[in-house]
RNA sequence: UCCUCAGUAGCUCAACGGUAGAGCAUUCGGCUGUUAACCGAAGGGUUGUAGGUUCGAAUCCUACCUGAGGAGCCA
């Protein structure tokens, strides 16, 4: 029997005898609330096991999975044959009664009374991602299909929760979302790491690598603001924690200092972790993430100065010297004795951006802060207090060989009612990788953009 | 940009100088409780590309292509 005739034979399913009302269409995730009821699921075939006159199709609908039980003697011949012949990821709907069943994953099962084929995946080109193992290259080439797999599905759901929690936290703590542009006219700190875009031929613009400068203007207008969007870095970086396109949330606060940044960053992290643990127990299980690693993430986080961090690293055998930035190995060393993120502040001015406010007591230090996640997940937050004095800003622009004309609007912020202000940026993908215990950030974003990968 | 590693069936891998194999996927057959089901059978290959060494190359050498991991840099 060909797939065509199967399809045509099942387009008008025979309803069970009697005057039964049509079954209610529900998401699989709601199944536990409909035990004993006749319902319909709409989805795709995840896997099928068959044993002669009984078949067990597992349907997934995006909200969950459900094992169905189709018994030959209880079904019209064509419906049973259709189910028996389903191939992986064929789309179909199935009607039946939900029953608690300890033998099934998830604890429930559907006794099938009817089913309808939407499209059968043909045997000439079967679904490429099988239930067995695959390599990274193959999976990345099939990212658009890989998202249907259990682990990827779980990781993207955690990503959703991280983003939602960030917004919930900031929204309920007085922050206003004020978006910053993605096309920007000039580099924030040099052009080497920026993607250049041809803007109607006559002007060069770049894809943003940070909304921070605009955030500072927005903070002077709204007090507490944040921007949340994609960020682009053209560095030819090729490691498990890099993407060329990633999402970053950047809160910025007027009348705030370095201490306030540390407090907000810590509270934000604690809030998100709590929500992930509370809402995504099942997803973490699918990801084989040990939740006890996250249960410790509570305030206060250990705090240390850059000075102390360098001393600690040297005592642990790092080659680092005062004045240098931490490498990945250093970040791992620094956090290995702690079960929660480490906050490091007051970095040497020369390794930080031009806009950092210097320490009053020690002007060679910038009031910058990084939050470094445990378990070798690295820097998840970077921020600090910004320069609010015009004369000092001008001095820094000169030292960094930045054209003053391009920063006129930014200088205005220091002319018209300047106030101390501070903020930070947090990378969503690194945060999600940490929550999920993933090896690589590429699985934390639906369509990762990397050095040698821009498709699909 | 640099260093290291890898490209063999649709997928994951084996064969390491002498006739290219297995599991999964697909098709056919069997099985009324399967859990990456199982059992039997079938089809499926220009061994990344181009040269070279050799009687003989998937295997050794050179270059290139593609990808992965790491360094630097970053969230």
Closest nucleotide to A123, Cα to C1': B26
| Helix axes of A150-171 and A258-279: crossing angle, nearest 10 degrees | 140
For residues A80 and A17, give the distance between their C-alpha atoms in angstroms, rounded to a whole number.
17
**Closest nucleotide to residue A139 (Cα to C1')?**
B11
Which residue is nearest to the C1' sugar atom of B30, using CA? A52
CA of A454, C1' of B20: distance in angstroms: 35
Q: Sign of torsion, CA A71 A75 A78 A83?
A: negative
Quick one: pLDDT at residue A191? 52
Distance from C-alpha of A374 to C-alpha of A372, rounded to nearest angstrom: 7
Q: Tell me, what's the ipTM?
A: 0.88
Considering chain A, tell me which residue range(s) the CATH 2.40.50.140 domain(s) occupy.
3-119
Residue extent(s) of CATH 3.30.930.10 domains in chain A? 141-444
Residue A128, nucleotide of least CA–C1' distance? B10
Give every residue of chain A whose pLDDT is below 70, as ranges. 1-20, 186-192
Mean pLDDT of chain A: 90
Q: Write the DSSP assignment of A305-371 as a string of letters.
A: EHHHHHHHHHHTT----TTPPP-HHHHHHHHTT-SS-EEEEEEEGGGS-TTBPBPSS-TTEEEEEEE
Between the CA of A347 and the C1' of B46, what is the distance in angstroms? 60
Question: Nearest nucleotide to A454 by CA–C1' distance?
Answer: B67
Contact A425, A212 (CB under 8 A): yes
Q: What DSSP designation does A14 have? A: P
Bridge pairing between strands A38-51 and A91-100: antiparallel
CA of A31 to C1' of B28 (A): 37
At residue A98, the pLDDT reads 96
CA of A451, C1' of B5: distance in angstroms: 18
CB A154 within 8 A of CB A179: no
Question: Which nucleotide is closest, CA of A101 to its C1'?
Answer: B33
Distance of C1' in B58 from CA in A286, Å: 39
Asked whether A83 and A112 are in contact (CB, 8 A), the reply is yes
- Distance from the first to the final alpha carbon of chain A: 35
Half-sphere exposure of A12 (CA within 13 A, CB side): 0
Residue in the block written with tokens 């945060």: A431
Q: How far is the CA of A427 from the C1' of B14 (A)?
A: 42
Whether residue A450 contacts residue A244, with contact meaning beta carbons closer than 8 Å, is answered with yes
Please name which of A178, A188, A180, A234 lies closest in space to residue A406, comparing C-alpha atoms. A188
Nucleotides of B under 7 A from a protein CB: 1-2, 10-13, 23-28, 30-38, 66-75
CA distance A92 to A80: 13
Q: Which residue is nearest to nucleotide B38 (CA to C1')?
A: A51
Give the tens place of pLDDT for each residue, A150-176: 999 999 999 999 999 999 999 999 999
Task: Out of 2.40.340.10, 3.40.50.720, 2.40.50.140, 3.90.480.10, select the CATH number for domain A3-119.
Answer: 2.40.50.140
CATH of A141-444 among 3.30.1390.10, 3.30.56.10, 3.30.930.10, 3.20.20.150: 3.30.930.10
The per-residue pLDDT for range A273-313, each reduced to its tens digit, is: 999 999 999 999 999 999 999 999 999 999 999 999 999 99
pLDDT for residue A13 = 44
Using the CA of A192, give the nucleotide whose C1' is nearest: B73
């Amino acid at each position: 029997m060909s797939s065509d005739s199967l399809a045509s034979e099942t387009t008008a399913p025979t309803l069970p005898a009697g005057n039964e009302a049509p079954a209610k269409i529900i998401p699989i995730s709601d199944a536990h609330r409909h035990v004993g009821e006749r319902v319909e699921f709409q989805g795709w075939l995840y896997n099928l096991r068959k044993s002669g006159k009984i078949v067990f199709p597992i349907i997934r609908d995006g909200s969950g999975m459900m094992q169905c039980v189709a018994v030959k003697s209880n079904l019209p011949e064509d419906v049973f044959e259709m189910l028996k012949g389903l191939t992986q990821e064929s789309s179909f709907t199935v009607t039946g009664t939900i029953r608690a069943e300890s033998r099934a994953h998830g604890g429930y099962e559907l006794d099938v009374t009817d089913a309808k084929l939407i499209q059968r995946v043909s045997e000439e080109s079967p679904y490429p991602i099988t239930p067995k193992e695959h390599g990274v290259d193959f999976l990345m080439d099939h990212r658009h299909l890989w998202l249907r797999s259990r682990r990827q599905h779980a990781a993207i759901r955690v990503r959703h929760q991280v983003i939602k929690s960030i917004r919930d936290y900031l929204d309920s703590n007085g922050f206003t979302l004020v978006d910053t542009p993605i096309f920007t006219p000039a580099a924030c700190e040099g052009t080497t790491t920026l993607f250049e875009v041809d803007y109607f031929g006559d002007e060069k613009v770049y894809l943003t690598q940070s909304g921070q400068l605009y955030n500072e203007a927005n903070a002077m207008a709204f007090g507490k603001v944040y921007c949340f969007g994609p960020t682009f870095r053209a560095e030819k970086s090729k490691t498990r924690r890099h993407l060329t396109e990633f999402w970053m949330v950047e809160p910025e606060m007027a009348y705030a200092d370095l201490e306030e940044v540390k407090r907000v960053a810590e509270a934000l992290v604690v809030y998100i972790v709590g929500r992930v643990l509370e809402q995504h127990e099942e997803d973490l299980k699918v990801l084989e993430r040990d939740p006890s690693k996250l249960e410790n993430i509570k305030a206060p986080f250990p705090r240390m100065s850059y000075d102390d961090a360098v001393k600690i690293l040297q005592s642990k055998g790092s080659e680092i010297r005062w004045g240098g930035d931490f490498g990945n190995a250093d970040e791992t060393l620094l956090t290995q004795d702690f079960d929660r993120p480490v906050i490091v502040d007051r970095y040497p001015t020369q390794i930080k951006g031009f806009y950092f406010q210097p320490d009053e007591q020690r002007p060679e230090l910038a009031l910058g802060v990084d939050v470094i996640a445990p378990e070798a997940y690295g820097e998840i937050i970077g921020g600090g207090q910004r320069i609010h004095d015009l004369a000092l800003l001008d001095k820094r622009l000169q030292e960094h060989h930045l054209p003053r004309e391009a920063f006129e609007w930014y200088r205005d912020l220091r002319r018209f009612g300047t106030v101390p202000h501070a903020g930070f940026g947090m990378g969503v993908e690194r945060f999600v990788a940490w929550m999920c215990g993933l090896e690589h950030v590429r699985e934390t974003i639906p369509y990762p953009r990397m050095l040698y990968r821009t498709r699909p």
